[in-house]
Amino acid sequence: MASEFLYFGDSQIWYNGKFMPSADARVHVLTHGLHYGSCVFEGERAYDGVVFKSRQHTERLHRSAEIMDFKIPYSVDELEAAKAEVLRLNGSGNKYVRAVAFRGGEKMMAVAAQQNPIHVAIATWTWPSMFDPAERMRGIRLDIADYRRPDPACAPTMAKAAGLYMICTISKHRAEKKGYSDALMFDWQGRVAECTGANIFFVQDGKLHTPIADCFLSGITRETVIEIAKKRGLEVVERRIMPEELSSFSECFITGSAAEVTPVREIGPYHYQPGRISEQLLADYMAGTGRA
């Protein structure tokens, strides 16, 4: 079960270079990002007021915008400063940070929208953990999604773009209605890919196995965990993983800014025992964020 979290309340939001109460940060209904999905975003964790891997997130936001054929009108340094100030204004503690950039609808409302300005916002809210911390090492349960991650020839899969999450929302809702925490998604060729908002790892004979990230994002948390594992002397194998292999792994866990490092005990009919490797990588990751 996911932990409860607070939305914006009386918090301050940075919107197009200005700070304002969240209630005043409004978007017109005729916004291109709403109608046509021309929107990119970042989900980040701040621990004690400091965003983990903050600059990497901001740089990825810029790359995502370039893939989506627009340019963010604020530099990485400007967004980093804005992010820090939003966190200061909204109080210390552990926060979730959302930076978002999207095409407005002020000049054109059609598929083509090259004349529309780009809007940028940064918001924070309290979200201690995506999953119940007391249950974390017990492991979460995953369904297997009906939808698949798209062929990179058919969608801008290397952008963290809002439209790519449409099938993720549907899949997560279906999983939650069946009592699962999330869902594992296959790729367009039927191979293991990722969860709806997190990457996935498996343990087999003391080695880590994770799908090749070529039709979905190699998350910043994923890359951090790979670095941690290699420092621990663990072999990390990035490869194609087929569904029929799911019964052969001993441990499984997911990674993401929201999920952090969360063990998995079940994927559909397959069962795992969260163990030493999952626990160690979780502890190392949390230590790296300052929350050990």
Query: What's 128's DSSP letter?
Result: S
Closest CA to 56 of 48, 64, 67: 64
Q: How far is CA 101 from CA 34, 73, 98, 257, 269, in A?
A: 12, 9, 10, 19, 40
Could you list the active site residues? 160
Q: What does the alpha-carbon distance between residue 199 and residue 184 come to, in Å, rounded to a whole number?
A: 9
Q: What does the alpha-carbon distance between residue 208 and residue 249 come to, in Å, rounded to a whole number?
A: 10
Q: At what angle do helices 54-67 and 220-231 cross, to 10 degrees?
A: 130
**Which DSSP helix (H) or strand (E) runs through 275?**
none
The total of other beta-carbon atoms located within 10 Å of residue 175's CB is 21
